[in-house]
Amino acid sequence: MIFNLIYTRPKDRGTNLLINIQNYDINIIDIPCIEFQYNFQQLIDLKDITSFDYYIFPSITAIRATLEYFINNNINYSFLNNKSVAIGLSSYKELIFYKIQNPIYPEKGGASEDLLKLDIFNNIKNKKVILLRGDVSRKYINNYLIKKQALFTDLITYNIIKSNSLDHDILKLQSINNNNVNIILFTSISIIDSFIESYMQILDSKLINLLKNFIILVPSDRLEKYVKSKGFCQIYNSKNMTDSAIISKLHEIKKYFK
């Protein structure tokens, strides 16, 4: 039995995960769906960047965009020490790479739900909090902070765009044998939307219907609910964005279909 994993993450994301997956005799079909463009306009317009109690970074790209802006403009960003909040271990390591001291992060999980379980959010009322994100809504975090009466600023640091290669890469699906076990890894709503938009435009209706029966692997309940709303039926949820959780769920799938 051949197991195919359609890997939809951006080219610079999850390299170690890819290597680990290949070590477990899973064939990778690489179809990156999105790319990132830094957008510094809101950072330029913000006059009190040093005044917040907490700086929330919900992605690695948000960290890179923000810190590269500070570095390129000779801004001393030591004010981020002890106040930076990362969404997971990978984001924590990225902050450490930029020499940010004592980042705060959830040791278990890497989704918005895990982030908001941190102790600091138990007493966030009247705290000045800034969310530095991409141009896709982080409504779950926004709504929580508003509900908890934080003094909340929402700031965009980068734009998410469809990968230039996606329409070409999506054609790889035409050669997939439907008798194999075919799994699609989706790790964000932006990726799901770009993938669906592309295959609806590029592929014929027969293959589109077959795709609905592929196994979908997601890292959170929120994404599980979203892919269900798009008509996918076979959904596995790792409940966690860590490499080990995703690989563990792939093991479970392999064991079930062997």
Q: Show pLDDT as tens, one digit a residue, over the chain (258 residues).
A: 889 999 999 987 767 788 888 778 889 999 999 999 999 999 999 989 999 999 999 999 999 999 999 999 999 999 999 999 999 888 999 999 999 999 999 987 777 888 888 999 999 999 999 999 999 878 889 999 999 999 999 999 999 999 999 999 999 999 988 889 999 999 999 999 999 999 999 999 888 888 988 999 999 898 999 999 999 999 999 988 888 889 999 999 988 887
H or E stretch covering 92: helix 89-97
Over 49-116, what HEC string results?
HHHCCEEEECCHHHHHHHHHHHHHCCCCCHHHCCCEEECCHHHHHHHHHCCCCCCECCCCCCCHHHHC
10: tokens are 């951006």
DSSP state at residue 24: T
CB burial string 209-225: b at 16+ within 10 A, e below = eebeebbbbbbbeebbe
Q: Give the residue carrying structure tokens 């938009």.
A: 197
**Rounded CA separation 86/115 (Å):** 8
Question: What is residue 14's predicted lDDT score, i.e. its pLDDT?
Answer: 67
Widest distance between CA atoms in the chain: 58
Domain map (residue ranges) of the chain = 3-33+164-257, 36-161
User: How is domain 3-33+164-257 classified at the architecture level of CATH?
Assistant: 3-Layer(aba) Sandwich (3.40)
Question: What is residue 102's predicted lDDT score, i.e. its pLDDT?
Answer: 97
**What are the backbone angles phi and psi of residue 72, rounded to the nearest 5°?**
-65, -25
36-161 fold: Rossmann fold (3.40.50)
Question: What is residue 136's predicted lDDT score, i.e. its pLDDT?
Answer: 84
- For the entire predicted model, the pTM comes to 0.84
**Rounded CA separation 139/192 (Å):** 17
Question: What is residue 160's predicted lDDT score, i.e. its pLDDT?
Answer: 94
Q: Do domains 3-33+164-257 and 36-161 have the same CATH topology?
A: yes
CB burial string 55-87: b at 16+ within 10 A, e below = bbbbbbbbbbbbbebbeeeeeebeebeebbbbb
Alpha-carbon 98 to chain mean position: 20
Question: What is residue 177's predicted lDDT score, i.e. its pLDDT?
Answer: 86
**Rounded CA separation 218/185 (Å):** 6
